């Protein structure tokens, strides 16, 4: 769990961990300089959970993405699975059991990432809807241009955890830890399981609107980030990071990556042909059209 001034909703999340039907878990909390009661809430929670390994540490102070990635290095080396946990959501009691059931079907040694939809709520946990139900298969060609699931849904198997520990040695910026995991694991030939049955109540409020996928405001926000250059900046960061960990990627992923880079630098006439060659795609028709528009207007 990456913590930063999350006291307002932290108790709900911690109590949902205590209710998990899969009871064999430990918790690492990395606090990025909170000025509220969050760390004290965590310490009080740990005191009520005898027999559970719950540890609170100081974070790197470089934002949520780097805080989460730093936590990968602190996991119990014996852990077979690792789950990201936000500070303000609520997990269904079967969340871990459900994820581990899916991951247990993956052949031993193959990196695998479980993720899925969320139940989107307001600040008081009143249900507003569900995050999108994506139908196209996950893959590196999608991961290059889209993050399909929030980190609050993600669970990694041992092979994926080992892979991400190596990738996390890259110390440069990435837009988001969940998008980075999706790119690295698919780029290394791993498997991504997208669960259409949501196991997380995703509390939507003013501080986490970037992660929203619900409704007209979210679509307008994505359009704004595309037009103002934010999306291109994120792509710059992702491509730099992927280049830095290129020895971890498959030959097919490296070929796709090289062609994708060429799209961004190509003339207007060549962009379309190269974009088709990459095979990159977004999960919806509107999103895919926006991808093409971004490529042709140098905003990709």
DSSP string, 112-155: EEEEE--EEE-TT--EEEE-----SPP-HHHHTT---S-GGG-E
Q: Sign of dihedral through CA atoms 251, 72, 93, 212?
A: negative
Q: How far from chain centre, in Å, is Cα 72? A: 13
Query: How much is the pLDDT for 144?
Result: 98
How far, CA to CA in Å, does 211 sit from each of 91, 153, 242, 294? 17, 12, 22, 20
Q: What is the C-alpha separation between 290 and 282, in angstroms, rounded?
A: 9
As a whole number, the mean pLDDT across the chain is 94
What global pTM score does this model have?
Answer: 0.94
| Residue 107 DSSP code | P
Strands 112-116, 191-195: pairing is parallel
pLDDT in tens, 194-252: 999 999 999 997 655 455 556 666 666 766 677 777 899 999 999 999 999 999 999 99
Each residue's pLDDT expressed in tens, for the chain with a length of 300 residues = 999 999 999 999 999 999 999 999 999 999 999 999 999 999 999 999 999 999 999 999 999 999 999 999 988 888 999 999 999 999 999 999 999 999 999 999 999 999 999 999 999 999 999 999 998 999 999 999 999 999 999 999 999 999 999 999 999 999 999 999 999 999 999 999 999 999 999 999 765 545 555 666 666 676 667 777 789 999 999 999 999 999 999 999 999 999 999 999 999 999 999 999 999 999 999 999 999 999 999 999
Q: 3-state class of 201 per DSSP?
A: strand
Q: What is the C-alpha separation between 213 and 199, in angstroms, rounded?
A: 16
Q: What is the C-alpha separation between 244 and 123, in angstroms, rounded?
A: 39
Q: How far from chain centre, in Å, is Cα 220? A: 21
Query: What backbone torsions phi and psi does residue 131 show, to the nearest 5 degrees?
Result: -65, 160
Comparing C-alpha atoms, which of 133, 246, 237, 222 is closest to residue 177?
A: 237
- Quote the longest CA-to-CA distance of the chain: 65
In order of start, what are the domains of the chain with their CATH numbers? 2-215 (3.90.550.10), 216-296 (no CATH)
């Amino acid at each position: 769990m990456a913590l930063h001034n999350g006291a307002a909703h932290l108790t709900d999340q911690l109590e949902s961990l205590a209710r998990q039907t899969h009871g064999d878990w430990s918790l690492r909390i990395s606090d990025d300089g909170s000025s509220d009661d969050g760390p004290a809430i965590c310490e009080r929670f740990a005191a009520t959970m005898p027999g559970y390994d719950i540890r609170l540490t100081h974070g790197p102070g470089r934002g949520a993405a780097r805080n989460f990635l730093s936590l990968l290095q602190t996991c119990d080396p014996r852990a077979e699975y690792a789950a990201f946990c936000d500070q303000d959501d609520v997990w269904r009691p079967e969340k871990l059991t459900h994820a581990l059931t899916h991951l247990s079907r993956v052949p031993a040694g193959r990196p695998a990432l479980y993720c899925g939809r969320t139940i989107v709520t307001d600040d008081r946990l009143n249900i507003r809807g569900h995050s999108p139900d994506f139908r196209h298969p996950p893959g590196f060609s999608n991961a290059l241009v889209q993050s399909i699931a929030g980190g609050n849904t993600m669970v990694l198997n041992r092979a994926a955890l080992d892979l991400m520990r190596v990738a996390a040695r890259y110390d440069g910026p990435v837009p988001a830890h969940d998008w980075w995991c999706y790119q690295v694991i698919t780029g290394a030939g791993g498997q991504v399981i997208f669960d259409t049955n949501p196991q997380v109540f995703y509390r939507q409020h003013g501080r986490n609107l970037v992660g929203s996928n619900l409704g007209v405001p979210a679509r307008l926000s994505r359009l704004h980030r595309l037009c103002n250059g934010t999306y291109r900046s994120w792509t710059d960061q992702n491509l730099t990071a992927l280049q830095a960990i290129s020895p971890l990627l498959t030959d097919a992923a490296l070929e796709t990556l090289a062609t994708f880079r060429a799209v961004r630098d190509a003339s207007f006439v060549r962009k379309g042909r190269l974009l088709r060659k990459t095979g990159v795609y977004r999960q919806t028709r509107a999103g895919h059209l926006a991808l093409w528009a971004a490529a042709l207007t140098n905003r990709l």
